[in-house]
Structure 1
Amino acid sequence: MSTTLTGVPPASADPADHRTAPDPLLRPDPALAAEHAAVECLLRCWARETGASPDAEGVLHVPVLGGAARLAAPVRYWSPCGWHRFGPVGLLTASGADPVDAVTAAALIAGAAGERPGAGQVADLAARVADSVGRTTDILGHRRTTPATDAGPFLRAEQALLLGHPLHPTPKSRDGLGPAQGAAYSPELHGSFPLHWFAVDRELLAVGSAAGRPAEEITAELYGRPDLLPPGTAALPLHPWQAREAALRPAVARLLERGLLHDLGPAGEPWHPTSSVRTVYRPGTPWMLKLSLGLRITNSRRENLRKELHRGTEVHRLLESGLGAEWRAEHPGFDIVRDPAWVGVDHPTLGDPSGLDTVLRQQPFGPADRAACVAGLVAEQPFGRVDSQLAGLITELAARAGRPEATVAAEWFLRYLDAVVLPILWLDGRAGIALEAHQQNSLVLLDAEGWPVGGRYRDNQGYYFRASQADRLSARLPGIGDASDTFVPDAVADERFAYYLGINHVLGLIGAFGSQRLADERVLLAAFRRFLAGPRAAATGSALPEHLLHSPTLRCKANLLTRLNGLDELVGPVASQSVYVGIDNPVAGA
């Protein structure tokens, strides 16, 4: 794709050259700003998944209604990495031009996407877009009028994804969550809530622990009143939405009626939802909880699968077997946020997922640690100007040092590659474990000034054990993969690793730098090439650097087509959970 077009300033242009018109994300009415944000996401998806680019006048055209009309989007910024920005979008027909809302744009783009989706899928997409727009409206309205809370750096970044994934057609859809529930359960609205507790008869109790102590002992402490537990039971924490919904399921209702489950109700201090919505955090406790949540959030219902629970304890044991010490010797600033224990319910009538399984995740950060979710760090904050926490960091560092922001941004990016990306490449090349390290799964650790010094990965779903390394991994931990179903063919690991780390994570970071006018994307792409071609990346043994350097195209997850195919990305074989398409590789072309 061309990145320097007539009417479309290059990434290195001065912001004054291409901000002559007000940014639509800054419209005072949060509903109008949310509509525009949604249309931008749809257009980014369509451009990526079809290979479309603007015309010579700097306008992106989407032919719709069989060519009888077209959507016309003036380009404010065209990103080599996909984080494009657009002006107000219009629908052009023979009778003239009209503004277009997000739901109409979604239906039209769905028909132009080339998949010939059924009417049900188009309607489903339109409904989810409408839901996403409504929630974004609430979020912007709240955040523009509510003072910032003193949440600390970790929670502040978890609450920062105001507009959601920039390349997802329905980034804020949470199908089934009512307005009052949204206020309590949404991180962007500063939500918090007490957990809902069940007591599980020990005949039904299912647990796993590599934490050095029983999982049920940990949950009893979190409950805080073990004396109130019925005899012979263990405490099970649940999301309050899930507890109400699960109690209506016939199998769960029967267990409650028979006294094998006991509904203890809400108890304890409030917990805060993090960026995934279902993982919750409470300052001062050494545990976070990854709760089952049957809501459709973006593409999937978020209930824990039993193999994922086994995967969390398995990875913890694997790292404790010596692999973690080898990794830290090379990269002392990086680690995995461990999921070493879980608690749930076993009964033949429940199935998998049961909706009643909870992960116990270690909480490794102290109040002074500057640990930030990468997706939250780069997320747009449309208040007065379109900024991000990343932009704030770069501005502060540049002002403190008296250096140009673009120079500081390039140095920050290079330090980030060493602190966060290099250790992930090492784990792939040296251990045969590719991480699903997209931006929301990845945390960056910052020093007191704001420079990257380390990182963490989190997510018991997102591990790909390479089949070619099965013998080496089994020698480290006999029986690995038997319960967790984590081994995949190398070709699948290659595709997913290149997308999640290469495209979503690093190219997404470069796109954020560019679209927020912090740096020239072409400069950062060249810097990324030098990093990939350097001796430290080569020494990891990962094949990803060579692939990113030399492949003219990359396999990329197509979120719009995945949605139009009605896929739940947590269901079915790994190789077919999402739609992937080929895109031009901006790294090879840099």
Structure 2
Amino acid sequence: MSTALTGAPPADAPHRVTDSDPLLHPDPAAAAEHAAVESLLRCWARETGAAPGADGLLRIPVLGGAARLAAPVRYWSACGWHRFDPATLEGEATPVDAVTLAALVAGAAATRPDSGQIADLAARVADSVVRTADVLAHRRRVAEAVDWPFLQAEQALLLGHPLHPTPKSRDGLGPAQSAAYSPELHGAFRLHWYAVDRDLLAADSATGRPAEELTAELLGDERLLPPGTAALPLHPWQARELALRPEVAGLLADGLLHDLGAHGGLWHPTSSVRTVCRPGAPWMLKLSLGLRITNSRRENLRKELHRGVEVHRLLESGLGAEWRAAHPGFDIVRDPAWIGVDLPALGDPNGLDTVLRSQPFGPAERVLCVAGLVAERPLGPGGTLPSRLGDVLRGLAACSGRPVQAVAAEWFLRYLDTVVLPVLWLDGRAGIALEAHQQNSLVLLDEDGWPAGGRYRDNQGYYYRASHAGKLAARLPGIGTHSDTFVDDGVVDQRFAYYLGINHVLGLIGAMGSQGLAEEDVLLAALRRFLAGERAAATGSGLPRLLLDEPVLRCKANLLTRLNGMDELVGPVATQSVYVGIRNPVASR
């Protein structure tokens, strides 16, 4: 086995693997059930430091120590992407289902959650399992619905975040709504439109054109707009929910908002569910959506809208040209405009604000969400558990006549230079750290499949270092005034190490290892050479030394965050989530 991230099992611990992979069970419900069990076990191992014993079993004391759960380890990952066979209570033969497992591990958690928190977790695990089963059933009988590589990758997260206890929980979506609004189910829908009286209109644009001109073009027929109004696109689920809010109902009754209904062609949800795209359209739209997806309700905060436009203006002030000169293959997918309603009585978020995000990708461009690239595709039954990354690496190996693991190591090194190094440059040279987890990060592949460029997307995930406040203000006077983006350097260091270091890079290594594409020890050695090299040092970022030197890293604990009932988009950055210390496999020799 590989060395554990949170604690190493004995060197002679057996590698216990059943004959068939439970994720490839012919019954989609059984496969979904097991996926949820594995996610919970991975969370437990990461957040408590638990490791398997000499017999290859991960044991969890439950019911106050009166019983123990035991899960045979299929694969123990240095980077946390463990695989397990079904878990049982010791002495019992029947596997424990995901909801029971959730309740047992919640009761055993150090936070001592109350019964309401345990019930909430169990309910969300049940919801996630049902939705995952629906996804697997659909994808096992329906082929890819589009030819656009970008959208295919956005629709590829069939199991969701591998280290989240409720990766597919979407509180409030009925079956028909789920079919229309879920990327994994090839969902598509028409936008719902409001017309906003210009006295209430709130908007900003750094595109050279007013935001209301851009949305009017997307609406397609300005005759639909009453005089003195602007077009506001909404998610159809959000529009129905908004009409039930007294403040919005009052605006509709008074004629300050006009419900225009659904118009236009079909838009497709991306991996975030609420951001939608349409082939050939110049914009993607990041819509407000009051659903609780994983841990948070997904309505746009006003500071995030300001942040997206501000970052675009900052890059256009000259920073972007400097960055492209050093790393011409990397950029940020810009959020240069937004439109909404300005009414303090609605609060913030008000549920009526929409972001216009640039859509720069051509129909044949191989630009892929990293989370979708590495996501497991349990589309069996069969003998292997493929991913898009596995397809790419095996294709490269076949063309070159080289072993897959040798190709994987070279691909990983190219990826570090192409996608990771530019993010370090922006941190070190400009004092801007990106929340570059795998879902926020895109990789551009050349025609053969090698990394050729990268993109970052997300108007939430920017951290301006407090130590760089003067330099950033010189580039863009007034920066941070409305976006609330300056953060103490110590907090930035912790978050940057988690999002880019643990979630993104170590997650990539873990995925490649657990899928049999590479040895994690080999990739970790390659990562150390990259971090210790001249190019990483020249960026000026402190992250390379932190990853090389710190024996313990602070890591977001999704299970404990869920058990504490925390919404990760609410409150100060430093206290939005629970963080725990984990052993650093990069610093381990």
Q: Quote how far apart the aligned CAs of 1:21 are.
A: 1.6
Q: 1:289 to 1:8 in 2, by over 3 A?
A: farther
Which residue number in structure 1 is paired with residue 100 of structure 2?
A: 104
Which residue of structure 2 lines up, in the alignment, with residue 28 of structure 1? 26
Q: Give a deviation string over 1:33-79, Cα, whole Å, max 9, x none.
A: 00100010000000000000000011100110011111110000000
Secondary structure, counterpart of 2:346 in structure 1: coil
Change (3 A) 1:4 1:189: farther
State the match for 1:279 in structure 2: 275
Aligned to 2:472: 473
Matches of 1:183 and 1:576, distance apart in 2: 35
Aligned counterpart in structure 1 of residue 8 of structure 2, from 2, 8, 31: 2
Letter in 1 for 2:227: P
Contact 2:295 2:567 in 1 (8 A): yes
> Does 1:39 find its partner at 2:37?
yes
**Counterpart of 2:3?**
none
1:489-500 correspondence runs (5 A): 489-500=488-499
- CA distance in 2: counterparts of 1:519 and 1:541, whole angstroms: 30
Write the letter of the residue equivalent to 1:24: P
Matched AA of 1:505? H
Task: Give 1:380's aligned residue.
Answer: 376
Aligned partners of 1:230, 1:189: CA distance in 2, in Å? 36
TM-score, normalised relative to structure 1: 0.97
Counterparts in 2 of 1:349-428, with a 5 A limit? 349-383=345-379, 384=382, 385-428=384-427
Distance 2:423 2:258 in 1: 43
In structure 2, distance between residues paired with 1:468 and 1:42: 39
Partner Cα separation in structure 2 for residue 174 and residue 478 of structure 1:
40
Specify the alignment match of 1:227 in structure 2. 223
Structure-1 residue corresponding to 2:323: 327
* In the alignment, structure 1 residue 530 sits paired with structure 2 residue 529: yes
Q: Is the 8 A contact 2:219 2:231 kept in 1?
A: yes
Instruction: Report SS of the residue matched to 2:455.
Output: strand
The amino acid across from 1:32 in the alignment is A
Distance 2:401 2:282 in 1: 40
- In 2: Cα distance, 1:557 partner to 1:581 partner: 6
2:581 is paired with a residue whose SS is strand
Provide the residue aligned with 1:65 in structure 2: 63
C-alpha change, 1:76 and 1:358, in structure 2 (3 Å) is same
Q: Distance in 2 between matches of 1:112 and 1:351?
A: 38
Give the whole-Å Cα distance in 1 for the aligned partners of 2:121 and 2:18: 34
How far off is 1:92 after superposition?
2.0
What secondary structure does 1:57 align onto?
A: coil
Q: Distance in 1 between matches of 2:459 and 2:353?
A: 13
Name the amino acid aligned to 2:215.
T
Structure 2 equivalent of residue 539 of structure 1:
538
Q: What residue number does 1:156 align with?
A: 152
Secondary structure, counterpart of 2:436 in structure 1: coil
Quote the Cα distance in structure 1 between the aligned partners of 2:75 and 2:35. 14
Give the conservation status (yes or no) of the 8 Å contact 1:171–1:298: yes
How far does the alpha carbon of each residue in 1:126-162 deviate from its partner, in whole angstroms, 9 at most, with x for none?
0100000000000000000112223311000000000
Where in structure 2 are the equivalents of 1:108-187 lying within 5 Å?
108-187=104-183
**CA deviation digits over 1:90-118, x for unaligned, max 9?**
1125xx44321000000000111211001
Residue of structure 2 in register with 1:56 after alignment: 54
RMSD over aligned Cα, in angstroms? 0.9
3-state SS in 2 of match to 1:587? coil
In structure 2, the partner of 1:434 is: 433
Q: Which amino acid aligns with 2:131?
A: R
Alignment of 1:82-93 (within 5 A): 82-92=80-90
* SS at 1:478 equivalent: coil
For residues 418-445 of structure 1, the C-alpha deviation after alignment (integer angstroms, 9 at most, x for no partner) is 0000000000000000000000000000
Q: In the TM superposition, what is the alpha-carbon distance from 1:3 to its structure 2 partner?
A: 6.0
Q: What's 2:76 paired with? A: 78
- The normalised TM-score by structure 2 is 0.98
CA distance in 2, matches of 1:3, 1:286: 52
Using the TM superposition, give the Cα deviation of residue 468 of structure 1 relative to its aligned residue in structure 2, in angstroms: 0.6
**Offset at residue 88 of structure 1 (A):** 1.2
Match for 2:310 among 310, 314, 328?
Answer: 314
SS at match of 1:456: strand
Deviation at 1:212, TM superposition (A): 1.1
State which of 303, 315, 336 in structure 2 corresponds to 1:340: 336
* CA distance in structure 2 between the partners assigned to 1:276 and 1:478 by the alignment: 32
Match of 2:255 among 253, 259, 264: 259
Q: Does 1:303 align with 2:303?
A: no
Q: Aligned partners of 1:261, 1:3: CA distance in 2, in Å? A: 62
Cα deviation for residue 5 of structure 1 reads: 4.3
- AA in 1 matched with 2:539: T
CA contact (8 A) 1:342 1:357 kept: yes
Question: Which residue of the other structure, out of 182, 190, 195, is the alignment partner of 2:191?
Answer: 195
Separation in structure 2 between the aligned mates of residue 335 and residue 232 of structure 1, nearest angstrom: 37
1:3/1:225 Cα in 2 relative to 1: closer, same or farther (>3 Å)?
farther
Alpha-carbon distance, 1:332 to partner: 0.2
Q: Residues 416 and 3 of structure 1: is their aligned pair in 2 closer, same or farther, counting only changes over 3 Å?
A: farther
Post-superposition shift, 1:523? 0.3
Write the distance in 1 (CA, Å) between the matches of 2:146 and 2:290: 30
How many residues are matched? 580
5 Å-filtered alignment, 1:425-574, equals: 425-574=424-573
3-state secondary structure, aligned to 1:349: helix
Q: Are the aligned partners of 1:115 and 1:561 in contact in 2 as well (CA < 8 Å)?
A: yes
The answer (yes or no) to whether the contact 1:132–1:170 under 8 Å persists in 2 is yes
- C-alpha displacement at 1:579, in angstroms? 0.3
Is the 1:339–1:460 Cα contact (8 Å) retained in structure 2?
Answer: yes
Q: Distance in 2 between matches of 1:421 and 1:503?
A: 13
The CA distance in 1 between the partners of 2:460 and 2:294, in whole Å, is: 16
Given that 1:274 and 1:280 are in contact with CA atoms closer than 8 Å, whether structure 2 keeps it comes out as yes
CA contact (8 A) 2:536 2:544 kept: yes
SS class of match (1:197): strand
Aligned match of 1:13: none
Instruction: Check the 8 A contact 2:190/2:266 in 1, yes or no.
Output: yes
Whether the 8 Å contact between 1:8 and 1:78 is mirrored in structure 2 is no
User: 2:378 & 2:10 partners in 1: Cα distance?
Assistant: 26
* TM-superposed deviation, 1:349: 1.9
Report the secondary structure of 1:386's partner residue.
Answer: coil
Deviation at 1:4, TM superposition (A): 6.6
The SS at the match of 1:98 is coil
Structure 1 counterpart of 2:423, one-letter code: I
Aligned equivalents of 2:26 and 2:397: distance in 1?
30
Contiguous gaps of at least 5 residues in structure 1: 10-17
- For 1:49, what is the secondary structure of its paired residue? helix
**1:214 CA drift (Å):** 0.5
Gaps of 5+ in 2: 1-6
SS at match of 1:116: coil
The whole-number CA distance in structure 2 between the counterparts of 1:259 and 1:326 is 49
Shift of 1:347: 1.4
CA contact (8 A) 2:159 2:375 kept: yes
Maintained 8 Å contact 2:9/2:54 = no
Aligned to 1:15: none
Amino acid at match of 1:513: M
The CA deviation string for residues 178-200 of structure 1, in whole angstroms up to 9 with x for no partner, is 00000000000000000000000
Native 8 Å contact 2:113 2:564 kept in 1: yes
Quick one: which amino acid aligns to residue 495 of structure 1?
A: Q
Identity percentage of aligned residues: 77
**Preserved contact between residue 529 and residue 587 of structure 1 (Cα < 8 Å):** yes
Q: Aligned equivalents of 1:349 and 1:207: distance in 2?
A: 18
For 1:389, give the aligned amino acid: R
CA distance in 2, matches of 1:20, 1:253: 57
Distance in 2 between residues matched to 1:455 and 1:169, nearest whole Å: 29
- How far the C-alpha of 1:398 sits from its partner, in A, is 0.2
